[in-house]
Amino acid sequence: MVNKIPGMGALIRSLYQFKDKRLERKLFGLTFPNPVGLAAGFDKDAKLYQELSNFGFGFVEIGTLTPKPQSGNLKKRLFRLSQDKGLINRLGFNNQGVEASVERLKKNKGVLIGGNIGKNKLTPNEEAVSDYVKCFEALFPYVDYFVVNVSSPNTPNLRALQDKKPLTNLLQTLKDLNLKKRIPKPLLLKIAPDLSELQLMDIIDIITSVKIDGVIATNTTLSREGLQSPHKTEMGGLSGKPLAERSTEVIRFLNEKSNNAFPIIGVGGIHSPQDALDKLNAGASLVQLYTGFVYEGPAVIKKINKALLQTA
């Protein structure tokens, strides 16, 4: 393990971190050291956030966490689509439960953390709100912002929670709880790239009426358009290059139709500085990556940040 070798953290930081005051972003009342974050799903159980931050990420989103531990779907459940620079996963929220992460987060020495929360597979949608509430309450002292994940394709029926009525109810409940805290935390919604324009208009309505802080666009897609790789027929969510254009389109749509009413974190197929710029130009304030980190390696973070300075 990298963290077990003395001096390894410092060595990695010296190779990969790129600090510059001009990269700082102030958003939701938080100061992000740079706008390039690690997307949810990589450090599901908050085991590696310190090491991942050493690679230069401005923030790390942990989770998706659920109240109870669960093992997720049967293996094999993650597929590399090399020709397409994509991944298909159907992990199904494998995680050790929110309390295990809380213990690890108590040791955090300054990494900016997003807490991505969901529901257990066996919790029916009618009772889903209570799962999100449990995760929200347990994580509250230990994360900087929250992400309500209703957009994973790998938990049966989860995406039905994106419909207007259940989503308004879920977000309003969390918002009310948040407002009771001495200092509320930013509350964001993570959405799927497969929503129609009508559904996206509903999302704008809900965000602006419940007044949550922002959106993460997008999660993985069910689309299989234009793929070459043998694994293209596997079930699950597709991420990486093939998702880039659609997620940028969703960001642009939300930004334009809402009249820039709320901040957006852009994610989906960022493998290069240009991909990050496309998301920012479409209206994102911050970006995240997962699959690009896998294919391009950690150097891509510094590359993006350096390029952002040149265009600033």
Ligand X SMILES: Cc1cc2nc3c(=O)[nH]c(=O)nc-3n(C[C@H](O)[C@H](O)[C@H](O)COP(=O)(O)O)c2cc1C
Strand-strand pairing, 187-191 and 78-81:
unpaired
- In the shown chain, the binding pattern of residues 107 to 126 toward ligand X, with x for contact by CB under 6 A and - for none, equals ---------x----------
Q: Specify whether the CB–CB gap between 149 and 219 falls below 8 A.
A: yes
**3-class secondary structure, 64:** strand
Closest by Cα among 154, 99, 89, 151 to 121 = 154
> Of 53, 101, 151, 152, which is the active-site residue?
152
**3-class secondary structure, 273:** helix
Q: Verify binding: residue 67, ligand X, rule CB under 6 A.
A: no
Query: Between residues 258 and 291, which has the closer beta carbon with respect to ligand X?
Result: 291
Chain residue at closest Cβ approach to ligand X: 41
Q: In what order do the strands lie in the sheet with 86-89?
A: 78-81, 86-89, 237-240
Q: State how far the Cα of 115 lies from the Cα of 98, in Å rounded to an integer.
A: 10
Among 112, 117, 207, 267, binds ligand X (CB under 6 A): 267
Q: Verify binding: residue 291, ligand X, rule CB under 6 A.
A: yes
Q: How many residues bind ligand X (CB under 6 A)?
A: 28
Among 219, 248, 285, 305, binds ligand X (CB under 6 A): 219
Q: Verify binding: residue 39, ligand X, rule CB under 6 A.
A: yes
DSSP assignment of 192-203, as one string? -TT--HHHHHHH
Q: Verify binding: residue 162, ligand X, rule CB under 6 A.
A: no
Q: Please say if 152 is a catalytic residue.
A: yes
Query: Between residues 8 and 77, which has the closer beta carbon with respect to ligand X?
Result: 77
Closest by Cα among 217, 202, 195, 208 to 280 = 217
Among 58, 186, 266, 268, binds ligand X (CB under 6 A): 268
Among 162, 220, 258, 285, binds ligand X (CB under 6 A): 220
Among 66, 149, 155, 178, binds ligand X (CB under 6 A): 149
Can you give the C-alpha Rg of the chain in angstroms? 18
- In the shown chain, the binding pattern of residues 222 to 261 toward ligand X, with x for contact by CB under 6 A and - for none, equals -----------------xx--x------------------
Q: Specify whether the CB–CB gap between 69 and 100 falls below 8 A.
A: yes
H-run or E-run covering 26: strand 25-27
H-run or E-run covering 88: strand 86-89
Q: Verify binding: residue 56, ligand X, rule CB under 6 A.
A: no
- Contact residues toward ligand X (CB under 6 A) are 39-41, 44, 63-64, 78, 87, 89, 91, 93, 116, 149, 152, 190, 219-220, 239-240, 243, 267-270, 289-292
Q: Point out the residues that are catalytic.
A: 152
